[in-house]
Amino acid sequence: MNLQKAILFIFLVSVHGVYGQGLEISRLKIDHQNTPLGFDNHEPEFSWMLNASERGAMQSAYEIVVSEDEARLEKGSSWHSGKVPGSQTFGVRYAGRPLKSFTRYYWKVRAWNQEGNPSEWSDPSWFETSMMSPSDWKAQWISDQNSLPEKDEDFYIPTPGPLLRKEISLKKEVKKARLYIAGLGYSIAYINGQRVGDHMLDMPWTQFDKQVTYNTFDVTSMLVRGDNALGVMLGNGWYNPMPIKLFQRWNLRDYLTVGKPCLMAQLRITFVDGSTQTIVSDTSWKAGKGPILMNSVYLGETYDARLEQKGWQNPGYNDKHWQQVQTPVGPKGVLIARYIPPVRVTKILKPVKMTQRRRAFIFVILGKTLQAYRD
């Protein structure tokens, strides 16, 4: 019995030494993101967290493999770094084959300790590319047919925010679908009446004459075989701010890249048979008027529920009185995949008091000073 225990002890010690003093690799990230969906960096940077069961354990080398095929990941068909000496665990730049558009890549990493023993491979992670080339964009900037006011005071006249919609018919079973969308200043997208994503106040403020970010959403489960409807509600955001004069002197619009609210969207669908179909924002879309009469980053929002158009996000909606969209000159900034974390709802508050004044107005008191959104 003692001999058996001794053999088992020696075996465990040897295995412990072979696998890098219990080194474990976790928290794999690419460009500081966990599993980015919609990624357009040609030379992304990899990082990982190193954990050890013993004090003083260090990484002396690492190895990364990247592949489109998760089942054959260890072959590293897209990139096999080989064993690279060093303790670096972040900022490791991709140096493999050119990344292809609309492709999911899998990757994993292992490390060696200071004694030259390798760890086990990490669990696989992934990232999915979007438009790796400007030529991948087939969509156009679209908006309603309204023009921006010429006088500053006219910006304060209630003007319904635009609703944009398009219906499509799919004749095959959907395997995968991605919506790539940039809506300026703010936008909310719908498919078949369901809201896409949980982001608030999209899109983020960038210098629009240099960069415009777009979101990527997995909308596979939202599409059906047959008739479908795409809808987008636009707001002003930072792209069409009120002409507020800071310190009664500087007009905000004179110092920002501004324009009328507009949309660039591309829906890429992969069917079960391997074929693809792309739906883009173009002149085939239609524009209507929404219930938001005024919206401003600084002055808030005026919402008239009497102007709601029930079912406008659904297929079969009668939009014969809607206008055709127009294709305005959009911002000059380069479209890039979003890298800024989105704004999301973090807490839901119930009003402490509600008071109705006149027939159409209800005042809601929340008891706090905060940036909020009515549901």
> How far, in Å, CA of 240 to CA of 162, rounded?
13
| Higher per-residue confidence, 94 vs 54 | 94
100 contact partners, CB below 8 Å, separation of at least 6: 129, 132
Mean pLDDT of 97-111: 98
CATH of domain 137-347: 2.60.120.260
pLDDT at residue 103 in the model: 98
Task: Report the alpha-carbon distance of residue 291 to residue 306 in Å, rounded.
Answer: 7
Q: What is the mean pLDDT of residues 37-54?
A: 93
- Residue pair 143/189 in contact (Cβ under 8 Å)? The answer is no
Contact criterion met (CB below 8 Å) for 197 and 215: yes
CATH 2.60.40.10 location in the chain: 2-129
* Angstrom distance (rounded) from CA 99 to CA 132: 8
Selected residue with higher pLDDT from 250 and 217? 217
Name the residue with higher pLDDT: 234 or 254.
Answer: 234
Return the higher-pLDDT residue of 18 and 364.
364
Residue 247's CB is within 10 A of a number of other CB atoms, namely 5
- pLDDT at residue number 352: 84
Pinpoint the residues of the chain covered by CATH 2.60.120.260.
Answer: 137-347
Q: What is the pLDDT of residue 57?
A: 87
Number of neighbours of residue 264 by Cβ within 10 angstroms: 22
Least confident of 3-17, 113-127, 183-197, 249-263: 3-17
Calculate the CA dihedral of residues 29, 35, 40, 45 and round it to 10 degrees.
Answer: 10
Whether residue 39 is predicted with pLDDT greater than 80 in this model: the reply is yes
pLDDT of residue 375: 66
Please report, for residues 89, 90, 246, 341, the alpha-carbon distance to residue 151 in angstroms, rounded to integers and kept in the order given: 56, 52, 18, 36
CA distance 41 to 351: 45
pLDDT band at 359 (very low <50, low <70, confident <90, very high): low
366 has a pLDDT exceeding 80 = no
Is 52 exposed, middle or buried, given 0-12, 13-18 or 19+ CB atoms closer than 10 A?
Answer: middle
Distance CA 197, CA 180 (A): 12
What are the residues whose beta carbons fall under 8 Å from the beta carbon of 346, sequence distance 6 or more? Answer: none
Residue 200 has pLDDT above 60, yes or no: yes
Average pLDDT over every residue of 87-94? 97
Q: How is domain 2-129 classified at the architecture level of CATH?
A: Sandwich (2.60)
- The mean of the pLDDT values for the chain is 91
Which pair of tokens denotes residue 207? 């210098």
Task: Using pLDDT thresholds of 50, 70 and 90, give the confidence band for residue 7.
Answer: very low
Residue of higher predicted confidence among 223 and 16: 223
Task: Give the highest mean pLDDT range of 20-29, 251-260, 315-324, 365-374.
Answer: 315-324
Q: List residues bridging with 195 in a β-sheet.
A: 190
341, with CB counted inside 10 A (0-12, 13-18, 19+), is: exposed
Q: Classify the C-alpha dihedral 121-104-135-205 as positive or negative.
A: negative
What's the pLDDT at 371? 66
Residue 257 has pLDDT above 80, yes or no: yes
Q: How many CA atoms lie within 13 A of 146 on its CB side?
A: 21
- pLDDT band at residue 43 using 50, 70 and 90 as cut-offs: very high
Q: Which residues contact 95 (CB under 8 A, 6 or more apart)?
A: 43, 79, 81
248 confidence band (pLDDT: 50, 70, 90)? confident
Q: Is the dihedral of CA 11, 14, 19, 22 positive or negative?
A: positive
Residue 311, pLDDT above cutoff 80 = yes
pLDDT at site 4:
54
Structure-model confidence comparison of residues 121 and 360, the more confident one: 121
Summarised one tens digit per residue, pLDDT across range 67-84 is: 999 999 999 999 999 999
Dist CA 56 CA 87 (whole Å): 13
pLDDT tens, residue by residue, 130-175: 999 999 999 999 999 999 999 999 999 999 999 999 999 999 999 9
